[in-house]
Structure 1
């Protein structure tokens, strides 16, 4: 189901094949609501200097889906260094979009910096 819907789908598929975990949250939510939330995340990530693979494409896909209800899934790599959010149709038979990639590293404080 994870094809090339967005640039993050390939890496998410690779994370699963390599032993990552997958979970789907309970409940259907209108795609347009997800689009609004994830549009804010684009701006927040940019302010922090992070990029999230496939996020802008996912927002576009969710906006186009409008009031269609979607399920949200999560993929985490086996080593926990990458995390992805996937959006599935209401029957969980099709991946609509995927966003994510390497977890951002927390900013280092002078005390944390290597010597």
Structure 2
């Protein structure tokens, strides 16, 4: 996916989408997966991670709860995307429609020393 296409998908979105757009415009790198998976599968996994983060850290990533809600509502396959900020402090996790024509949801995650790639 070309950068300008991803920027267009994020334009006019919520607070997290606008922050991801700003990151892209400031030199962030990004990866869009070639595969799709059921939205409910991602929602379930991320809901578990969200509960763990709340318990462990008493906080949650920006947009995480809304992301789980939107993925559950979507009920169709989604395509994943990661945006890593140029300063390596944040990663934006995005889910796009199966054809990558629209943004379904996104959240901002603080990068840790042991981050694994999106699968």
What TM-score do the two structures reach when normalised by structure 2? Answer: 0.79
Root-mean-square deviation (Å): 1.9
Shift, 1:73, TM fit: 0.2
Of 20, 25, 28, the residue aligned with 2:36 is 28
The residue that corresponds to 1:112 in the other structure is none
Aligned length: 105
Unaligned regions of 5+ residues in structure 1, if any? 107-115
Larger mean Cα displacement after TM superposition, 21-30 or 42-51: 42-51
Q: Secondary structure at the match of 1:92?
A: coil
Q: Judging changes above 3 Å, is the alpha-carbon distance between structure 1 residues 48 and 61 closer, same or farther for their aligned structure 2 residues? A: same
Q: Judging changes above 3 Å, is the alpha-carbon distance between structure 1 residues 6 and 47 closer, same or farther for their aligned structure 2 residues? A: farther
Instruction: Give the alignment of 1:76-115 within 5 angstroms.
Output: 76-103=84-111
Which protein is bigger by CA-based radius of gyration? 1
The residue that corresponds to 1:11 in the other structure is 19
Verify: 1:44 aligned to 2:67, yes or no.
no
- Report which of the two has the higher share of helix: 2
Unaligned regions of 5+ residues in structure 2, if any? 1-8, 115-119
What TM-score do the two structures reach when normalised by structure 1? Answer: 0.82
Shift, 1:6, TM fit: 4.4
Of 73, 81, 99, the residue aligned with 1:64 is 73
Q: Secondary structure at the match of 1:72?
A: strand
